[in-house]
């Protein structure tokens, strides 16, 4: 298998201090940025996240592809945040190239809580309904100039070569079963509605939940809109397998479908309870399962240096095969 993509620019506290000093030496409500603590807290495939003081974070791309996506975030997320009930990290500063750094970067709110990916899935059942409501509020028709992500939200056929290449080399005892799930997704009828707004990367490390020591946790925020795009909502509904165990998945699917039942106007092909709408739903969930294969195999194939994401990929595969 392989490691995650290499950084094209090394992002550290020295670089980010220079950017802050040059572009936002003082922030309303926080004071001089030079007086605020700064530490790296995570490094993903595309971005490095640093905590700035107690209430802010700095999101800095480490690869050119991440930089292009972050520009979409800066432009669109503040507008989308106005209609979402769940906290999202809309930028408070839209940084630009400078201080020897070539790309855009952002200062965003710091959201306290725990990544859902670190919590036992049995405790995530309480997240099902609010996450379904979040997607319901987000999944509205996108404008013509909305971003289009070439690897998320389009026809599954466009990902076929990449997914089959990963399936040929992932270390999983039931690769044949995953291949069958993928092919079923490919066979499902295509999305027949307009491009909708999508988060694009609905895995559990992009959900912030409350940090109760026991019992069900609650959803506090949805983060990392770097893959935000417009297209087929099946891409986001892959969360059914990316985030939940079987019991949580049943609650999530039921909550999503209740909202579709209420959409009796039929503005979208899966809304309402007509025979056509029910067939569109079946196809949508089939494609969603295919998207879960695409995302899960990416985690399996590119996380040799990240055991946490490798384990997530393996768990997604297990959840997909549970439903056979």
Distances (CA, A) of 61 to 7, 9, 32, 58: 9, 8, 23, 10
Q: How confident is the model at residue 266 (pLDDT cuts 50, 70, 90)?
A: low
Distances (CA, A) of 188 to 38, 184, 193, 213: 48, 6, 15, 41
Q: Are residue 151 and residue 77 in the same domain, yes or no? A: no
Residue 313 · residue 298 · CB < 8 Å: yes
High-pLDDT (> 90) share of the chain, %: 89
- Note whether residue 3 is domain-resident: no
**Segment 10-23 mean pLDDT:** 98
- Domain span at 62: 13-109
**Segment 268-295 mean pLDDT:** 95
Instruction: Give residue-wise pLDDT tens across range 231-246.
Output: 999 999 999 999 999 9
Residue 198 · residue 138 · CB < 8 Å: yes
Q: According to the model, what pLDDT value does residue 2 have?
A: 61
Instruction: Give residue-wise pLDDT tens across range 218-229.
Output: 999 999 998 999
**Which of 15-29, 75-89, 262-276 is the least confident region?**
262-276
**Segment 111-134 mean pLDDT:** 96
- Note whether residue 195 is domain-resident: yes
What is the number of domains present in the chain? 2
Q: Which of 93, 198, 209, 87 is nearest to 146 (CA)?
A: 198
- Note whether residue 4 is domain-resident: no
Q: According to the model, what pLDDT value does residue 7 have?
A: 95
Residue 198 · residue 206 · CB < 8 Å: no
Last residue of a domain, one of 109, 125, 150: 109
Q: How confident is the model at residue 173 (pLDDT cuts 50, 70, 90)?
A: confident
Q: Are residue 292 and residue 144 in the same domain, yes or no? A: yes
Q: Are residue 91 and residue 43 in the same domain, yes or no? A: yes
Kindly report the average pLDDT of the chain as a whole number: 94
Residue 300 · residue 246 · CB < 8 Å: no
Q: Are residue 100 and residue 118 in the same domain, yes or no? A: no
CA distance 152 to 278: 24
Instruction: Give residue-wise pLDDT tens across range 123-151.
Output: 999 999 999 999 999 999 999 999 999 99
Q: Are residue 102 and residue 118 in the same domain, yes or no? A: no
Its pTM stands at 0.93
Which residue reads 């909502």 in tokens? Answer: 233
For residue 50, list its beta bridge partners.
Answer: 40, 58
Q: Are residue 125 and residue 38 in the same domain, yes or no? A: no
- Note whether residue 83 is domain-resident: yes
Q: Which of 169, 183, 176, 191 is nearest to 298 (CA)?
A: 169
Could you tell me the CATH number of the domain that includes residue 17?
3.30.200.20
How many contiguous H segments (helices) and E segments (strands) does the chain have? Answer: 10, 12
Q: According to the model, what pLDDT value does residue 120 have?
A: 96
Q: Which residues contact 62 (CB under 8 A, 6 or more apart)?
A: 7, 8, 9, 10, 11, 43, 46, 47, 48
């Amino acid at each position: 298998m392989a490691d995650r993509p290499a950084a094209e620019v090394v992002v550290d506290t020295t670089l980010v201090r220079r950017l802050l000093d040059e572009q936002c030496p003082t922030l309303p409500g926080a004071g001089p940025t030079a007086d605020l603590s700064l530490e790296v807290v995570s490094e993903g495939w595309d971005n490095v996240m640093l905590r700035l003081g107690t209430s802010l974070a700095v999101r800095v791309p480490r690869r050119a592809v991440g930089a292009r996506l972050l520009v979409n975030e800066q432009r669109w997320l503040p507008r989308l945040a106005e209609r979402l009930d769940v906290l999202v990290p809309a930028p408070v500063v839209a940084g630009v190239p400078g201080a020897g750094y070539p790309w855009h970067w952002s200062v965003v709110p710091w959201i306290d809580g725990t990544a859902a990916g670190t919590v036992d899935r049995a405790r995530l059942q309480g997240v099902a309904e609010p996450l379904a409501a979040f997607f319901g509020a987000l999944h509205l028709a996108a404008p013509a100039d909305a971003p289009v992500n070439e690897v998320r939200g389009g026809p599954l056929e466009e990902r076929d070569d990449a997914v089959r290449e990963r399936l040929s080399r992932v270390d999983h005892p039931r690769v044949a079963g995953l291949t069958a799930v993928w092919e079923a997704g490919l066979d499902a009828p295509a999305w027949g509605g307009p491009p909708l707004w999508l988060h694009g990367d609905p895995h559990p490390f992009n959900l912030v939940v409350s940090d109760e020591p026991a019992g069900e946790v609650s959803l506090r925020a949805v983060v990392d809109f770097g893959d935000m795009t417009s297209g087929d909502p099946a891409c986001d509904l892959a969360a059914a397998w990316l985030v939940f165990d079987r019991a949580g998945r049943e609650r999530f699917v039921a909550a999503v479908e209740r909202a579709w039942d209420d959409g009796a106007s039929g503005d979208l092909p899966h809304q309402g309870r007509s025979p056509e709408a029910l067939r569109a739903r079946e196809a949508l969930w089939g494609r969603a399962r295919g998207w879960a294969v695409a995302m899960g195999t990416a985690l399996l194939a590119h996380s040799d240096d990240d055991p946490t994401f490798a384990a997530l990929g393996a768990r997604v595969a297990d959840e997909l095969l549970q439903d056979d």
